[in-house]
Amino acid sequence: MKIKNLLITSIFLFSLMLFVGCASTAGSSTVANVPDPTNGEPQWWLNMKGPAYQVLIYSFADSDGDGYGDFQGLISKLDYLNDGNPETSTDLGVELLWLSPIHPAASYHGYDVKDYMAVNPKYGTMADFDQLIAECAKRNIKVILDLVFNHSSTSHPWFEDMLANPTSKYRNYYIHKDNSINYGTGGMGSFYTAYGEEGKIEYFGAFSPTMPDLNCANPAVKKEFVKIMKFWLERGVAGFRFDAAKHIFDQNELPNGTANMTLNKDFWVELREAAKKIKPNVFFIGEVLNKQIPSIGPYAPGFDSLWDFATEDILAASVGSGSTASLLRTLKRNVDGLPKYDDFVPSYLLSNHDMDRSMSVILSKCGVHNTDGLAVAAGDPVETVEAKKTALTRAKTAASLCHTLPGLPWIYYGEEIGITGIRHANNDISRRDSMIWTKDRKDSPKWQNKNQMVRGQNDLTLSVQEQEADPNSLLNHYKNLSVLRASSEVIRKGSYKASTWPGYGGASMMAFFRVLEKEDGTEESVFVVHSTSNIQEKRAVPEGKAVTLLWSSLPGKKASEEKLNQIILEPGESAVFNVIEL
């Protein structure tokens, strides 16, 4: 078995050398005059003034009334994300847009790709996609695509040719069972059976029998990957989100005892190197879905960012329940545990398409039905009305925490208006409910089978139109957070430092410093404070220091140069203060 493991590793390393070398010969998309919203800026993700935003095209905006969201629908809503004018505060200030899979696929969600270099016709044409890239560039929005390199669909021509042709060149594009190998355990998936011209074929799939894993140790497969990346990068895409990054070499597909994390990390390092030969400032972010920082961090050399799923796992739940006494310690441990590379930025989120939406988590923790929505319904008892008020306050606090941590904050579409969604009927459709633009919901996609949704889901979730008119809405809170990020370099780039000020580390008030080291050797600090109390809270500023208000989550509470020796926060208020040495 040691000889087999050594052989696998040797073949893998040799193929990686071929992988990097093929970047210069990959096919061209032949698109002329493609706009570049990055303006060639190296490591532009370190300097972003706005948040990042995840969109499921099919659930975002429907332009033609066929029930599916599409590219033109998204184009029509771009000013909502970013109107291109940095002087306005009426948009979300989004500067990075992640499009979940846009390719033709066998399923609604798109993670079983049939053609990596085409767009799903339900979303529009390639010309529509090119227009989207151009319109995003006008607004300083960079676009990244979701690439699923771990597996394809069984409907992909590679897999179909493998079944139809016993001598198919695509046979080794997939992983076939070898009965002489003692396979590992602890990963995902298993070997499945298909029948083709040569008879029985056993292939590996980490997620589903309809999603066969690609053989990522095969140099020919890696050449395909480079060709795919080149195609999209030359169309103006700024980078990629890579699905299932830790399953490229899954324990269950390898001989028992194989160091699969090392194989995975090396794969992503070399893939990133190949992509940078095509576009030097390409952005790589990986989905390493694990709730433990020590299992996420080792992948950092292959990516420019990774999501901190360890923090996501506790943030909304802790804030939603009001049990935040230990949250600061956990946050510090997670922040300190992430790698520190010059070109690496951590990413923070409250939820995504594979998780219960943060509003559902918070509503549940507040004792309210977790999918109806936040609005008060006729006949709601006083207790429910008050619980919904608490849920709104705590949703704002969770967002404030996410957007003031040292890294890149991500918004899952609809999170900013409190859209709900949970795992239901053994699928994730509820978690991917449609965006709600207007009270009449005319522009909202309607592709979902209602039998797969929770009855009454989001009936009480107010639309964008309604929330824009309410200064106290969750949507306007998110816009206010974008104003903070855009105006404060310390919030964008400063490191995290635990608070040592007395009285700020308890269950009712959470605080930490963000500290920016300047080129002249000096430091600039801000003090970030989040109240989780139901009453007004007052805390003294330590002797020899003062603070001035930089930002508050309360509508109408403006920045001030007044030096304060006491911090007063209203229930649920978040605030950022400049720190002054007296």
What are the tens digits of pLDDT across the range 198-214?
899 999 999 999 999 99
User: Rounded to 5 degrees, what angle do the CA atoms 211, 263, 273 make?
Assistant: 95
Q: How many CB atoms lie within 10 A of CB 128?
A: 16
Asked whether 457 and 477 are in contact (CB, 8 A), the reply is no
pLDDT for the residue 287: 98
Closest C-alpha among 409, 406, 410, 448 to residue 431? 448
**Three-state secondary-structure class, residue 441:** coil
Q: Is the C-alpha dihedral spanning 406, 412, 417, 420 positive or negative?
A: negative
- What are 524's strand-pairing partners? 516
Report CA-CA distances (Å) from 145 to 38, 119, 133, 232, 555.
15, 11, 11, 8, 35
Dist CA 188 CA 565 (whole Å): 55
pTM of the predicted protein model: 0.95
Closest C-alpha among 419, 421, 416 to residue 431? 421
Strands (E), 243-359: 283-286, 305-306, 347-348
Q: Which residues lie below 8 Å from residue 243, measured CB to CB, with a gap of 6+?
A: 111, 146, 147, 148, 149, 150, 287
pLDDT for the residue 450: 80
pLDDT for the residue 23: 52
Report CA-CA distances (Å) from 151 to 213, 244, 397.
4, 9, 38
User: Rounded to 5 degrees, what angle do the CA atoms 406, 409, 414 make?
Assistant: 160
Task: Assign 3-state DSSP to the chain and report helix, strand, coil percentages, each to 5.
Answer: 35, 20, 45
Dist CA 550 CA 513 (whole Å): 13
Strand order in the sheet with 142-147: 305-306, 283-286, 239-242, 142-147, 96-99, 52-55, 408-412, 347-348
Q: What is the secondary structure of 141-198 as a DSSP string?
A: -EEEEEE--SB--TTSHHHHHHHH-TT-TTGGGB-B--TTS-B--SSS-EEEEEEETT
Asked whether 312 and 330 are in contact (CB, 8 A), the reply is no
Asked whether 447 and 58 are in contact (CB, 8 A), the reply is yes
What are the tens digits of pLDDT across the range 76-132?
999 999 999 999 999 999 999 999 999 999 999 999 999 999 999 999 999 999 999
Report CA-CA distances (Å) from 137 to 34, 36, 44.
10, 7, 14
Q: How many CB atoms lie within 10 A of CB 518?
A: 9
Task: Give the pairing type, strands 52-55 and 190-196.
Answer: unpaired
Task: Give the pairing type, strands 537-540 and 566-569.
Answer: antiparallel
Q: How many CB atoms lie within 10 A of CB 45?
A: 25
Dist CA 199 CA 520 (whole Å): 71
pLDDT for the residue 112: 98
Look up tokens 């608490």; give the residue: 390
Dist CA 262 CA 260 (whole Å): 5
Look up tokens 């629908």; give the residue: 73
Q: Is the C-alpha dihedral spanning 200, 203, 208, 212 positive or negative?
A: negative
Report CA-CA distances (Å) from 180 to 9, 12, 176, 206, 266.
18, 20, 12, 20, 26
pLDDT for the residue 25: 41
* pLDDT averaged over 10-residue windows placed end to end, the chain, 582 residues: 43 48 47 84 97 98 97 98 96 98 98 98 98 97 98 98 96 97 96 94 98 98 98 98 98 97 97 98 98 96 97 94 88 92 95 98 97 97 97 97 97 98 96 97 91 94 98 98 97 95 87 94 95 94 97 96 97 97 93
pLDDT for the residue 340: 87
Number of C-alpha atoms within 13 angstroms, CB side, residue 404? 31
pLDDT for the residue 323: 86
State the DSSP code for 215: -
